Amino acid sequence: MRTYYKIKLDLWFGIATILFSLVFAVSILSIEVVIQGSAVTGRTFPWLVACFTFILGLSLTASSYKELQGFRGEPGGNVYNKQQLNKIALYLALICLYVLGISFIGYMVSTAIFVAALLIFFGYRKKVIFLSLVLLLPVLMWYAFSQLIEVQFPEALLF
């Protein structure tokens, strides 16, 4: 059974996700669109992300609110302990290093390193699938963004 504080944290996280998706949707309007006869433009993927994020935030907020209304019991203890906060900080540091890595060493290499780091971070150890994800995911994502959606990647030292 979830504690009162965890339910309330999910409620606030859902509200924050809704607000983020709305701000993100407004910021998409500044993206310049060059129509070349295709329905898929530079705004397509960001719009999909904004809509999907809004729906997930709305779902989390509604379910948490409903669960909070029916909550019976003691509020419970702390939401996170120190070990969990350290994991969150490490995860955020990995994301920041990934974003910096794209600018300096390129998309392909930094994405492969980031995927490997995430798989290790979450404890995934099956070697064949691990190597497949590390090698194929950056290429598939590059193809989807670069070739299908025509998103330009920053120039960097490597790929």
Render each residue's pLDDT in the chain as its tens digit; 159 residues: 677 888 888 898 899 999 999 988 888 877 666 666 666 666 778 888 999 999 999 999 999 999 888 877 666 655 566 787 788 888 888 988 988 888 888 888 999 999 999 999 888 888 999 999 999 999 998 888 888 877 777 776 665
Which alpha helices (DSSP H) does the chain contain, by range? 4-28, 44-69, 82-104, 107-121, 127-142
Given 41, 64, 79, the domain boundary residue is 79
Predicted local confidence at residue 148, as pLDDT: 82
User: In total, how many domains does the chain have?
Assistant: 2
| Residue 28 near residue 51 (C-beta atoms within 8 A) | no
Nearest to 8 by CA among 62, 60, 64, 73: 64
Predicted local confidence at residue 37, as pLDDT: 65
Shared-domain flag, residues 114 and 124: yes
Query: By residue range, what is the domain housing residue 54?
Result: 1-79
Shared-domain flag, residues 46 and 88: no
Shared-domain flag, residues 46 and 92: no
Predicted local confidence at residue 9, as pLDDT: 86
Predicted local confidence at residue 75, as pLDDT: 64
Shared-domain flag, residues 47 and 26: yes
Shared-domain flag, residues 7 and 28: yes
* Tokens coding 127: 């070697």
- 3-state SS class at 53: helix
Predicted local confidence at residue 115, as pLDDT: 94
Shared-domain flag, residues 105 and 155: yes
Shared-domain flag, residues 112 and 131: yes
| Residue 78 near residue 5 (C-beta atoms within 8 A) | yes
Given 79, 114, 146, the domain boundary residue is 79
Given 15, 44, 79, the domain boundary residue is 79
Shared-domain flag, residues 58 and 86: no
Predicted local confidence at residue 64, as pLDDT: 92
Shared-domain flag, residues 40 and 90: no
* Entry field: residues in the chain: 159
